[in-house]
Structure 1
Amino acid sequence: MRTGIKAVVIGGVCVTLLGGAGYGVYNLASALNGDDGTAGSAAPVETGPPSGSEVRETTRAFFAAWARGDAATAASYTNFPQAAEELLTAYGEDAHIGRMRITPGAATGDTVPFTVRATVSYDGGSHPLSYHSALTVVRGETSYRPLVDWRPSVVHPDLRKGDTLLTGESAAPEIEPVDRDGKVLTRQKYPSLGPVLDELRRRYGDRTGGRPGVDLVIRHQAAADGSEVADTTLLTLVKGKPGRLPTTLSASAQAAAETAVMKYPESSVAAVEPSTGEILAIANNRRDGFDAALLGERAPGSTMKIISAATLIDIGKTTANGPAPCPPSAVWQSQTFHNLKGLRPDEHATLADSFARSCNTAFVKYADEVKVDSLTREAEDRFGLGRNNWQVGVTSFDGRVPASGGPDTAANLIGQGQVQMSPLNMASVTATAATGAFRQPVIVPLKLDGREPARARGLSPGTTGQLRAMMNRTARSGTAAGVMAGLGGDIGAKTGSAEVDGEAGSDSWFAGYRGDVAAAAMVQEGGHGIDAAGPIVASVLRNAG
């Protein structure tokens, strides 16, 4: 959508404002002139929430100005007129939306739902547009006027801060993405793939032999790192010719992932094929629409002990059958660490024992013997994390394991402190533990555009064998046993929960593999690993084939 936008102003807008649920006659001329009909007298200053009549009158005036294309006047009825005028102007001039009819619904207090029916006109063609939104009327902080509480979602429910609307020829042709078996993948059938498909279209649309169409899109603000974010298509006026784009996804795994996350709010999951690094599924169920499966940056809790255990083995501090005592508490640089409530101490525990039971203190006790950067180097050199060089085919977060001093040296070992991961990162960690080899996750074949994947040494056969044995024990008789029960074949798992500052509940984490499928899930404030993330991963492993 970056090219071909024409600055055409639509004239002769037909405005029809329908009455709704108690909306009475309102004198627009008085509103626009600021005249309350009491010349010569000073009106008393209103305070407190807007009254019902103020909500009705302000809403009616705002709708009327917006519907006739008068962005400046409509913006004057908001508490952020400059931002409102910019977006409302783009609505008519850049998005070419006109012939509006706005139908208010019944107000609930100071909030008014409404329906917009309009026409998008571009280059001699037109297409109807219809959607629902809502606004809230507040009291101005200094003017004390009743004003529309401005936010982009007033204009369209999918708009966020920094977004705008555009209509024009697509920057990239439509794509017909297909899974590894040639099955067509659509956002209608697999909603979680919506943002991924938008980015794939932006990146690869011109490589697939398709022809651009004409769309109404949301142009998103650039990402924090300055990279472009793919447009979101709201309406297609002229269909282009889609080009076929192969992906590594599996329709069956994606369907299983979509179904699994719908059972748990604020959840995300990613699955990869350990033998190749190919991404099999990505799914999210989040109110904010954020693709946390690929881009999430959250403390991974005890799933991080996969890397921590590998570190302890690789630097020669212990082995799976070597000592890793599990005391009731452990102190590191004046910070006291505890285990999950109810976990019985075991001063004679091995690393395999403490791993399977997810004993925090066993790992914290080793903080004295681990160099500040040991965990960082293990994550980078063997698991391929934290170097910001993954070439997935779409934007991804590559994990963060900083060399943190102070109490964070111990906290990092148990997936707290400054460690940050996404479900895709932990699915990759699980795949590396299962095979001993780091294979950077990909969602489109590398040969499509000649990408060079990130590389890492991977694990020695000895470390791999010990990790697999510990993860298998965890899945069959440790903290993950209840979730993994009934899954046959070669399995392994690790549970986790992570505390996050300012949030009441812990994040639920779970990572596991079965055969040639590795998956990891995170549920914000979902509790323990077995409470929410575990069932998601188990469902994907059970149905991914």
Structure 2
Amino acid sequence: MPEYLSTVNRRRRKSRRTWRTVAVVAALCAAAAAGTYAVGVRPLARGGAGGAPAPDPAAVSQAHAFLADWAAGRRPGAAARTTSPDSARQVLDNFTEGLDIGRPVLTPAAATRVRDGAVTVPFTARMPITGLGTWTYASKLSLGRQDDGTWKVDWALSVVHPDLSPAAKFHLEREEAAAPQAFDRHGKVLSGAALSSLGPALGSPDGGTGGAVGRGSVQLVDRATGRVERTEATFGAAPGTQGGSDVHTTLDAAWQSSAERALAAGVHGRNAGLVALRIDSGEVLALANSPSTGFDRAVSGTYAPGSTWKIVTSSALLLKGAVAPRDTVDCPKHLTVGKEFHNVETSEHPGATFLDDFAESCNTAFISLRGRLGDQELGRVARTYFGVGQDWHVGVPSFDGSVPVAKDETEKAASMIGQGRLQANPLVMASVTATAVSGAFHQPRITGKAEDETSTTALPPAVVAQLRTMMRATVTRGTARILADLPGAVGAKTGTAEVSDDEPNNGWLVAYRGNVAVACVVEQGVTGGGSAGPVIHDLLSANPTDPS
């Protein structure tokens, strides 16, 4: 099935402020330590203060890259940017051991030039501790120019934390407080044991200690004796008090259970995420992850969406009348735009219509239409009509999509088919699907009190009708035929996104039926229809009617 193959550019992962009432659910939902990091680095200031000489931009760039690699969990890459890669790798790997740290955010301050032209970059580290809160502290990087002219971070234990030393390390002491109950949309109690995927989603507060569900502290201890030198940070309610109030969510217990079963049966141990939501309101009915403990891929993941993004690309083209579904848009085997783009198995469809290209997911056809969109048009449509990249307040930490302006024609070609630097996750793509088939964006949410600061424009009814027709054709005669036996007018779009030359592709599938939109990504799934397809098929089969 034609899908573009290009390297995923894993960059900015944005965390969101968590509502206290949602974070409180972590104890009930069996939250576990998050095992994946997300980039949270703001741009570095480059100028010198008070007329002092500005730091070398190359040094500033190296500092930025080090913090980005560390925050993203690319620890070998971060270590390679230091003067002692082996020692740095070992320390970065071991620093969070036993601390239950989730997704750190590293915020650099202005860089300064010091003696001999060396550069210092202070930064603030925010380390979210599962079920407790965020440990915040300050440190700094010192960078020196090497003999070969490059800049390196001068490695020392104090880079990671000023008080980390050969004699002292950090230890997490935890004491759980009483936890409230969480309820689904019908008032049914949600069980953390039965619905384990909720742990990663609801268990990582992102706004300090206000969302704590337990009590605990980070302590500096003597490495040899274990003696506590001092308490570095404390979290949670006072002893004898309850951690918070009962929480009412938008989730549907039946859909949630079905989603977890579908992932467990369908992904064969691979990493995966899934979100189902109501089209008319954006209310999340189910979110599931594989593994069910650890990083919340469904809501906070950052993936190239692959050809599922052709829903947005098609919307941009249809909105300006640049193409119509019945127009002929040839689908050749190859197309060169700075590099060679091709379809999976180098398939071709001479004389195909634009509808055919969508249903069969022809990359070369979509790339051939890139000149009909302005350089910023794809991002503008994504933001204006689909809310992608705006600030969503879902009720849990979320990544809300990113559509950077293409740097050149090659990247613009990649963006047309959901590659390059485009990033999304199942929450984003379920919302995109819901918007495409209804015309109206509704901010996704998991709690009833999540605020909405988004502003979007409705898609014209004619464009919505065309998108629905193309997504339906994808099921009846295209790459999503795995869903063709389901009752109801199911529409869908498959996607495949390459992670690297050495890894199998990620598989994507988005679908809608009635008032439900669903999206699933399976890491190393090879194809969307073959990996995510069976998962969504099982979920819709288990829930043949719309939720109330």
Letter of the aligned partner of 2:425 in structure 1?
S
Match of residue 415 from structure 1 = 418
CA apart distance, 1:343: 2.7
Letter of the aligned partner of 1:470 in structure 2?
M
Percentage identity across aligned positions? Answer: 36
Match of residue 501 from structure 1 = 500
CA–CA separation in structure 2 for the residues paired with 1:437 and 1:463: 12
Q: Is the 8 A contact 1:213 1:238 kept in 2?
A: no
Matched, 1:305 2:304: no
CA–CA separation in structure 2 for the residues paired with 1:296 and 1:85: 23
Letter of the aligned partner of 1:369 in structure 2?
R
CA apart distance, 1:255: 0.6
Match of residue 540 from structure 1 = 539
Match of residue 341 from structure 2 = 337
CA–CA separation in structure 1 for the residues paired with 2:354 and 2:97: 62
CA apart distance, 1:271: 0.9
**CA-to-aligned-CA distance 1:398-424 (integer Å, 9 cap, x gap):** 111111033010101111111111111
Match of residue 518 from structure 1 = 517
CA–CA separation in structure 2 for the residues paired with 1:88 and 1:330: 48
Structure 2 CA distance for partners of 1:177 and 1:311, relative to 1, 3 Å: same
Matched, 1:427 2:426: no
Match of residue 193 from structure 2 = 188
Letter of the aligned partner of 1:421 in structure 2?
A
Letter of the aligned partner of 1:467 in structure 2?
L
Match of residue 443 from structure 2 = 440
What's the C-alpha RMSD, in Å, of the aligned pairs? 3.5
CA–CA separation in structure 2 for the residues paired with 1:524 and 1:82: 28
Match of residue 98 from structure 1 = none
**CA-to-aligned-CA distance 1:85-136 (integer Å, 9 cap, x gap):** 9999999xxxxxxxxxxxxxxxxxxxxxxxxxxxxxxxxxxxxxxxxxxxxx
CA–CA separation in structure 2 for the residues paired with 1:442 and 1:89: 32
CA–CA separation in structure 1 for the residues paired with 2:298 and 2:170: 23
Q: Is the 8 A contact 1:508 1:525 kept in 2?
A: yes
CA apart distance, 1:502: 5.2
Match of residue 282 from structure 2 = 277
CA apart distance, 1:214: 5.9
Structure 2 CA distance for partners of 1:409 and 1:240, relative to 1, 3 Å: same
CA apart distance, 1:185: 1.0
Match of residue 176 from structure 1 = 181
Match of residue 530 from structure 2 = 531
Structure 2 CA distance for partners of 1:302 and 1:164, relative to 1, 3 Å: farther
Match of residue 463 from structure 1 = 463
Matched, 1:198 2:211: no
Q: Greater relative contact order (Cα 8 A, min sep 6): structure 1 or 2? A: 2
Runs of 4+ in 1 over 4 A off after TM superposition: 78-91, 199-206, 212-219, 236-239
CA–CA separation in structure 1 for the residues paired with 2:296 and 2:392: 17
Match of residue 263 from structure 2 = 261
Matched, 1:489 2:488: yes
CA–CA separation in structure 2 for the residues paired with 1:411 and 1:89: 41
CA–CA separation in structure 2 for the residues paired with 1:394 and 1:381: 23
CA–CA separation in structure 2 for the residues paired with 1:237 and 1:443: 30
Structure 2 CA distance for partners of 1:248 and 1:343, relative to 1, 3 Å: same
CA–CA separation in structure 2 for the residues paired with 1:88 and 1:328: 49
Gaps of 5+ in 1: 1-77, 92-161, 207-211, 220-230
Structure 2 CA distance for partners of 1:89 and 1:278, relative to 1, 3 Å: closer
Q: Is the 8 A contact 1:383 1:432 kept in 2?
A: yes
CA apart distance, 1:244: 2.0
CA–CA separation in structure 1 for the residues paired with 2:492 and 2:98: 54
CA–CA separation in structure 1 for the residues paired with 2:263 and 2:512: 18
Structure 2 CA distance for partners of 1:443 and 1:502, relative to 1, 3 Å: same
Match of residue 327 from structure 1 = 332
Matched, 1:291 2:296: yes
Structure showing greater Rg: 1
CA–CA separation in structure 2 for the residues paired with 1:538 and 1:163: 47
CA–CA separation in structure 1 for the residues paired with 2:94 and 2:341: 53
Letter of the aligned partner of 2:504 in structure 1?
G
Matched, 1:480 2:452: no
CA–CA separation in structure 2 for the residues paired with 1:428 and 1:507: 20
**CA-to-aligned-CA distance 1:474-533 (integer Å, 9 cap, x gap):** 11221101x203211121000110011354210001000111111111111111011111
* TM-score using structure 1 length: 0.62
Match of residue 252 from structure 1 = 254
Match of residue 367 from structure 1 = 370
CA–CA separation in structure 1 for the residues paired with 2:96 and 2:470: 56
Q: Is the 8 A contact 1:272 1:281 kept in 2?
A: yes
CA–CA separation in structure 2 for the residues paired with 1:85 and 1:293: 27
**CA-to-aligned-CA distance 1:258-310 (integer Å, 9 cap, x gap):** 11111311111111111110011111113982111001111111101111111
* TM-score using structure 2 length: 0.62
Structure 2 CA distance for partners of 1:365 and 1:196, relative to 1, 3 Å: same
Q: Secondary structure at the match of 1:540?
A: helix
CA–CA separation in structure 2 for the residues paired with 1:494 and 1:90: 41
Gaps of 5+ in 2: 1-86, 101-168, 220-233
Q: Is the 8 A contact 1:518 1:541 kept in 2?
A: no
Q: Is the 8 A contact 2:201 2:299 kept in 1?
A: no
Q: Is the 8 A contact 2:333 2:346 kept in 1?
A: no
CA apart distance, 1:534: 1.3
